[in-house]
Amino acid sequence: MTDRTSVELFAGGGGLAMAVHKAGFRPLLLNEFARHACDTLLANNIELRGEEERIPERGDKWPLVPGDVQDLKMGYLQGRVDVLAGGPPCQPFSLGGVAKGDEDKRNMFPEMFRAVREIQPKVVICENVRGLLRASFKPYFDYIVRELGLPFLERDPESSWESHDKALRETEIASVDPTKRYDVVMTPVNAADYGVPQIRNRVIIVAFRADLGVDLDTFKALIRPTHSEAALHGSIRDGRYWKRHPGVPDHVRARVEAALPDVLPGVNPDDGLLPWRTLRDALKGGKGEKSLPDIPEHRLDRQEFDEEKYTYHVGWPDARIYPGHTPNVLDRPAKTVKAGVHGVPGGESVMLTDELVKDPTSSPDGYRYRHRYMTVRETARVMTFPDRWKLSGPRGEKMRQLGNAVPVALGKVFADAVAKCLDGVAAES
């Protein structure tokens, strides 16, 4: 069995690290700055590495070095790492943040490039927000991609990124040692298209070291979407979706079906893909998961619903719906899980239930659907975190970790594709 290895920077609550591990890579090092996220990692199969620069053996716990990545030395890992993975902090580029881009001191892409130089991994997997593709950031994003392709052509600390970008563009690629340059694939994704029960638009950048000779077309074929909105609509119309959820009230089914558009513009209804997974699918659970019960009004009391069966399934009071803060609905993928924008824990984490309640002011018939905050457990399901994964900190910090994470199912698609490409290279050598 091939012993594939990985390093994870900006590990957060562990979503991408889990995904890469599930694809067959053994973590040699994790790094994270946030205290509660470090506590989460330590609560799982991870331990503090200590001062010694050591390579863990197979079966050892994953080693974590907490603290600022700028203080992390990684040279001892050179030549030992198959995949370097991480999502540099996205606030500089997020639609929800101040959007200062490369001028923001939280921009950690330079540290990712330093890690590439010190480790020289075979592959780099980097996830970030779709905001990188906005017109105002496009020139800088193109620079990021070029710099990842030529990470050893270092930027002078006194120079601007524009002057460094000019030098990168003028470099003759073929003249660069193939062990010190990378072939880069940038993929805009919606996580729902990969079986994640959430609309989550991101950018995933994967870079293969050029000397490996990986066929990029093969890689691109392996990361094609597997699920679609059209297939979800088709499964609702023909009843297959409701067979998975036989207890849904007739009035809910009628409302959902009436809201479906006749057609989706530019979409092939017979695309041969699987249906998008919905919030209701996530709450029902997949293989080995329990179905999560709805939390009634009287249990929105900040207490575990049933700690032995449903960890972190805690009802939270005072959920509100107002303009710009609209709720999730059960029969579509959830809205993007956020990391706590504008003081709202977990972003717009309100959901409509199936329960009708009297409210003469809300509609002509005098009824509305009850709404409440999603629980941490429900949010973790939406992020495709396994129920066994422990989260540390108060509710707001748990939600923040989830909102900052890479959905495990999405990360695994890309990590699996990387593994298959490396298998192909190994078979040919």
307-318: b (≥16 Cβ within 10 Å) or e: eeebbbbbbbee
> Residue 131: phi, psi to the nearest 5?
-60, -20
What pLDDT, on a 0 to 100 scale, did the predictor assign at position 305?
A: 83
What pLDDT, on a 0 to 100 scale, did the predictor assign at position 343?
A: 40
Helix/strand/coil (H/E/C) assignment for every residue in 305-358? CCCCCCCCCECCCCCCCECCECCECCCCCECCCCCCHHHCCCCCCEEEEEEEEE
What pLDDT, on a 0 to 100 scale, did the predictor assign at position 341?
A: 45
**16 neighbors 125 (Cβ within 8 angstroms):** yes
What pLDDT, on a 0 to 100 scale, did the predictor assign at position 252?
A: 97
User: What angle, 0 to 180 degrees and rounded to 10, lies between the N-to-C axes of helices 408-428 and 15-22?
Assistant: 40
**Fold match flag (4-225+405-428 vs 275-403):** no
- The DSSP symbol for 383 reads T
DSSP reduced 3-state for 214: coil
Mean pLDDT, consecutive 10-residue stretches, the chain (429 aa), reads 91 97 98 97 96 94 96 96 89 48 68 96 94 84 94 91 94 95 98 98 97 97 96 94 96 94 70 94 92 94 86 93 86 90 55 92 83 96 97 94 96 98 88
Among candidate residues 348, 396, 340, 336, the one with its CA nearest the CA of residue 91: 340
Q: What class has domain 275-403?
A: alpha beta
What pLDDT, on a 0 to 100 scale, did the predictor assign at position 348?
A: 65
Residue 219 CB coordination number (10 Å): 21
- 4-225+405-428: CATH, from 3.40.50.150, 3.20.20.140, 3.20.10.10, 3.40.50.620: 3.40.50.150
Residue 280 to residue 275: CA distance in whole angstroms: 13
Q: Which of 38, 90, 126, 421 is the catalytic position?
A: 90
Domain ranges of the chain: 4-225+405-428, 228-272, 275-403
Pairing of strands 62-66, 25-32: parallel
In DSSP terms, 322 is beta-bridged to: 325
Q: Any catalytic annotation for residue 38?
A: no
